[in-house]
Amino acid sequence: MWHIIKREIYNNLNSLRFALTTVLLLALMITNAVRHIREHPKRVQKYHDAVTASMNLLTSRAEDSLYTLAHEGPGTLYKKPSPLHFCAASGEALLPDRVDTPHGSRGFWRLEYPDVNINMKNVGPDVSQIDWTFIIGYILSLIALLFTFDAISSEREHGTLRLTLANAIPRHTVLIGKFLGALVSITIPFMLAMLVNLLMISSASEVHLNTEAWGRLGIILFIALLYTCLFLALGLLVSARVQRSAVSLVILLLTWVTFVAFMPSTLAALASGFSSSMSQHEYSHRYGQNYHTFRRTWRHAWYQSNDEKMLRIRGEWHTQIAVSGERLAGEYLTFKITQVQRARAITSISPAALLQHLFEAFAGIGLDRYQQFTENAQRYAREYREFVVDMERGDPESRHIMGVRQGMSQKPVNPEAVPKFEDTLNLGQDFNTVAIELLLLTLFVVVLLAGAYLAFVRVEI
Amino acid sequence: MFLTLVRRELLDNLMTFRFAAAVVIMLLLVVANTVVLIKDYELRLADYNTAVKTHRQELREINKTYSDGMLGVWGTMILDRPPNPLSIFNTGLDKRLGNKIKVSHTFVPTIWDANKYEADNAYFNILTSIDIVLIFQGILSLLALTFAYDAIAGEYEHGTLRLVLSNSIGRGYVLVAKYIGAMVCLLVPLLMSLLLALILLTTSTTVSLDTDDFLRIGGIVFTSFIYLSLFYLIGMFISAITRRTSTALILSLFVWAFLVLVYPNMILTAVDTVPRTDTKTAAYNQIKQVWEELERKREQFLRNDPIPGESWSLGLDFSLSFDDNPSRLVYHTDIAGALETIDEKSEPLVPHAQNLFRFLGPLTVSTAERVWLIRKPAFEEIYVQPANRGRILLKFSPAGLYDAATEAWAGTDFNGTRDFFIAAQRYRQAIVNYFHDEKIFASRQWFSSDQGAVDWDTLPQFSFQRSDISINAKRALPDLFLLLTMNVFLFIAIFLVFIKSEV
């Protein structure tokens, strides 16, 4: 078996496709790294500036009074940019990077989710960026097919397969040998290009990859290898079934074009075109209705009286409006994201879509990450409100009426004690969200390998 | 003999598995995507129709005075950009750029002032979209290469080339015969899928195509044919120089991957083509200065006004319309009035107001035009130049040329989309001229509707026709010409290689 693997590797290393693969992958990975080194520091700087501005606002509010803190809120919350932006960049520019915390002149602050940034000013051509998803999803998969399309069929054409099998070697050993040989010879240029890429990125002083990022990169690498195995197995399967290598390549190419290049967008478009959604109009309508319901219930709140009962009613009104408005906005956001995720789930038949989903999840980018970020923000909002309630209880001079200036503590708060928003990534949660995709990808590989085995065992030579 | 050769090539290609597979895949993808694209177009058209209706209605219901229609916050005069039915073939910029624009005498409208209708779920934009040209661009080129890689190398390997050439036929004829045979075969999936797409288009009740549109589609088909031919010739060239099918196959696939997949994305990742926003501040300051000059003149006029000590509201219930947005290079200010009644006490003020507006209206218009002279080069520098740089770099790949040419045919390229905004600018000019001619600025209805509301129907009406087919052709021609030249060069190269090669 080692003999077969060695022969395969030597054969491949000397071939034209190996040289071309190396050049192509190196060029792509270097472009990717250069772009990341150029863009990432700007992103990080922007994030830090924004967070600092937010923190200053929070400090000044805390130094003013507890009421200001409760009324105006913690300031805009920002999403931390992922250090693994080079793994999956597409779609990231569209997603908002913050959660707003607006407040009215009297009403309380609440979380509000900004809309998707659609760039309608850029009149330039529309292209996808070169990220790892592109390099591995499109290029490496194509190369994997090029390495295996003639693995069995050409040996049969040349008659060398008969010679090999005339020795006392079981067929599955030959197949596994071919598979591993192809895997190793494709991994060599890939690893080389990837190492150059990572070396460039990690040696740039402005970009910092921490231990967690390296761990995530390890997982991403594993997924990339799994994905390559899928296409190698597919190549072997078709190569074993088909008599001529030219036919085998045509079948493989057409499969590739359909499943990798066009299936994701076609299916997504189909799914999104035929799902109805709650329109913006309907949402605004529901929001307005909600407001008016409260208005009817708490009509008295508008009297400018300062007696305790009126204050309580007014406080209740402010609190309820903030709470229900925030809940409605949250529900609307979840609804929209779920709708897109459902459309995206249908594209999981395509391995390239699976790969993109997995990469996005583990690189901490994309829709799932955005949802995680909004959940973090919601958790923080709860924590922040609990803190305000606690501080309010601790002030003996206050009248303890939440929601109105006259009823709340006017004392300044120590800015250090106020909880700060920390946007964190959670690897365990990422695993949970994409467990099914990971399983599906593995399943594809196993099925295709088993198919290749069966096809090869039954084939006549 | 020549015809025999062509017939042989044709039959050889038609009977292959790759031909059947190609037809099936093309038909499947094109039909599935056309259905989706038509639905998408219908939705956009419905959005457009409702928007036109509501904007019309709002203008008439809310705005009773001229200045309110030009400057107000609600229900002002808004033009809507209709979706282009040919965006089904190549989406281009049609979907991305804004589709409603305000008309006002205070600024000259551009693409960058336009806004978009609110989408129900904008998160769907994360999913990649696709159009028919993209399918052709990917699959046709791949098909052409799979047809071409063994055209010469295969015959050489089998020794049939020697047999053919032993007849009294020139080598050039053999090449031409091969080319014709393969191109006819490749045209079958192209035309069949287009035919199905057209059938779907014509059965849809909302998509209406006129003669010009069919000619434009013809242009797209012709460009597709040239693109297809180019890739076939690339494959043939590789086949002629390598002379081994396996090498030719691998090499052509790498060439395909590089030209279609890698190069367009890589070059735009490496070279920055995002708008350059750092030059905005200088232009914005200039614009602000021009408007501040107008404000000074206005104050001076008010000081010399017979009613001393009055502010711009003149004691009437005027409002200051003010827009200041450095990121959009917008700064303008004007006085608007939407009075419904004028009581007797205020009646003596009306001539003063009319005087003010008689002075202010033309001044605002000329200021807007002066600002336009600053904005135009600024936008050019910020948005258009980086975009053009990207486009030029893309033209080094046939895929980029093909995309640019079909966009130009469909009218969804930058020029085609800009046509609407140029029409909007012309319409604004017509409105302004009308205001001048009818002395609207000095009229009572400019700020007050107490003696009757404005009849908006008497104003010049806006109509927009997509550019003429000849203009589309003119825009597509440079790219088409480049593609054609590449074809000719490659054919000559193949001929030279083939002539000199030993059989």
DSSP states along A53-113: HHHHHHHHHHHH-HHHHHHH-S--EEPPPPTTTTT--TTTTTS--EEB----SSSPP--BP
Find residues 11-40 of chain A whose CB sits inside 8 Å of chain B.
15-17, 20, 24, 27-28, 31-32, 34-35
ipTM, 2 decimals? Answer: 0.88
- For chain A, residues with pLDDT lower than 50 are none
In this prediction, residues B229-240 reach a mean pLDDT of: 94
Burial class of residue B209 in the structure, from the number of CB atoms within 10 Å of its CB (0-12 exposed, 13-18 middle, 19+ buried): middle
Q: Which two tokens stand for residue B485?
A: 């030249």
Domain count, chain A: 1
Q: Residue with structure tokens 């040989």?
A: A181
Cβ <8 Å between A121 and B273: no
Sign of CA dihedral B203, B206, B210, B215: negative
DSSP-assigned letters across all residues of A30-51: HHHHHHHHHHHHHHHHHHHHHH
**Matching residue, tokens 């399983």:** A439
Contact yes or no for A280 and B97 at CB 8 A: no
Residue B115: strand, helix, or coil: strand
Return d(Cα A442, Cα A434) in angstroms, integer.
12
Read off the tokens for A336. 């929209």
Residue B352 within any structural domain of the chain: no
B254 inside domain = yes
Count: domains in chain B: 1
Is 70 exceeded by the pLDDT of residue B104? yes
Q: Which of B35, B120, B270 sits opposite A35 (nearest CB)?
A: B270
SS3 percent helix, strand, coil of chain B, rounded to 5, is: 70, 5, 25
Nearest to A130 by CA among A88, A165, A96: A88
What is the rounded CA–CA span in Å between residue B384 and residue B389? 9
Residue B129 sits at the chain A interface (C-beta within 8 Å): yes
Angle at A353 between CA A347 and CA A355, to 5 degrees: 145
Test the B interface: residue of A122, A239, A275 with most B CBs within 10 Å: A122
B140 part of a folded domain: yes
Beta bridge partners of A98: A78
Conformation bin of residue A93: beta by default, left when phi > 0, alpha when psi is -120 to 50: alpha
* β partners of residue B330: B325
Q: Where are the beta strands (DSSP E) in A319-391?
A: none
* B267–chain A nearest CA distance, Å: 9
Q: Which two tokens stand for residue A64?
A: 């003013």
- Type and span of the H or E element at B80: strand B78-80
Q: Which of residues 250-289 of B touch A (CB under 8 A)?
A: 250-251, 253-254, 257-258, 261-262, 264-266, 268-270, 273-275
Residue length of chain B: 503
pLDDT of residue B355: 84
The C-alpha atoms of residue A203 and residue A190 are separated, in whole angstroms, by 20
For residue B118, pLDDT over 80 is answered with no
d(CA A429, CA A186): 32
Alpha helices in B271-337 (DSSP H): 280-303
Q: What is the pLDDT of residues B245-300, one digit of tens each?
A: 888 888 999 999 999 989 998 888 887 777 777 778 888 999 999 999 988 888 88
Residue A252 makes CB contacts below 8 A (sequence gap 6+) with A145, A149, A234, A235, A238
What is the DSSP pairing of strand B319-325 with strand B330-336? antiparallel
The continuous run of DSSP H or E covering B450 comes out as none
pLDDT, tens digit, for every residue of B321-336?
A: 888 888 888 888 888 8
Residue B335 carries which DSSP code? Answer: E
Query: CB atoms < 10 A from the CB of A70, how many?
Result: 27
Amino acid at B400: G
For residue B285, is it within any domain? no
Tokens of A82: 């992922």
Interface of B with A in 380-439 (CB under 8 A): 383-384, 386-387, 390-391, 394, 400, 403, 414, 417
The answer to whether the beta carbons of residues A110 and A102 sit under 8 Å apart is yes
Query: Could you tell me the residue range of the domain that residue A122 belongs to?
Result: 1-461
What integer pLDDT is reported at residue B395 of this predicted model?
92
In a domain, B393, yes or no: no
Contact assignment for A127 to B386 by CB distance below 8 Å: no
Contacts of A171 (CB under 8 A, 6+ apart): A165, A456, A457
- As a whole number of angstroms, the distance between CA B79 and CA B427 comes to 10
How many angstroms separate the CA atoms of A266 and A273, rounded?
A: 10
In three-state secondary structure terms, A49 is helix
Helix residue spans in A242-279 (DSSP H): 245-256, 263-273
Of residues A338, A144, A395, the one with CA closest to residue B123: A338
Helices then strands, counting H and E runs in chain A, come out as 16, 2
Number of C-beta neighbours around residue B52 at 10 A: 15
Query: pLDDT at position A238, please?
Result: 92
Sequence-distant (6+) residues with CB within 8 A of B351 are: none
**The whole model's pTM is what?**
0.90
pLDDT of residue A302: 60
- Contact in structure between B443 and B354 (CB atoms under 8 Å): yes
A160 Cβ under 8 Å from any chain B Cβ? no
The angle at the Cα of A85, spanning A81 to A87, to the nearest 5 degrees, equals: 155
Answer whether A367 sits within 8 Å of B264, measured CB to CB: no
User: Do the beta carbons of residue B443 and residue B67 sit within 8 Å?
Assistant: no
Q: What is the structure's pLDDT at A417?
A: 86
**Are the beta carbons of B22 and A126 separated by less than 8 Å?**
no
> What is the rounded (10 degree) CA torsion for B311, B313, B317, B323?
-120
**Is there a domain that residue B210 lies in?**
yes
CA B242 to chain centre: 41
Question: What is the spatial distance between Cα B226 and Cα B221, in angstroms, rounded to a whole number?
Answer: 9
Using a CB-CB cut-off of 8 Å, the residues of chain B touching A254 are 21-22, 25
State the residue range of the domain holding B14: 2-37+129-270
Q: Are A346 and A222 in contact (CB under 8 A)?
A: no
Task: Say yes or no: A187 contacts chain B, CB-CB below 8 A.
Answer: no
| Nearest CB to B18 within list A35, A126, A250 | A250
pLDDT digits (tens, 9 = 90+) for B157-203: 888 888 877 877 888 888 888 899 889 988 988 999 999 999 999 88
Instruction: Return the pLDDT at A277.
Output: 60
Of the given ranges (B12-26, B182-196, B427-441), which has the lowest mean pLDDT?
B12-26
Q: How far apart are CA B78 and CA B103, in angstroms?
A: 6
Residues 6+ apart with CB under 8 A from A198: A33, A217
Element (H, E) at A392: helix A367-394
CB distance B304 to B263 below 8 Å: no
pLDDT at B371: 92
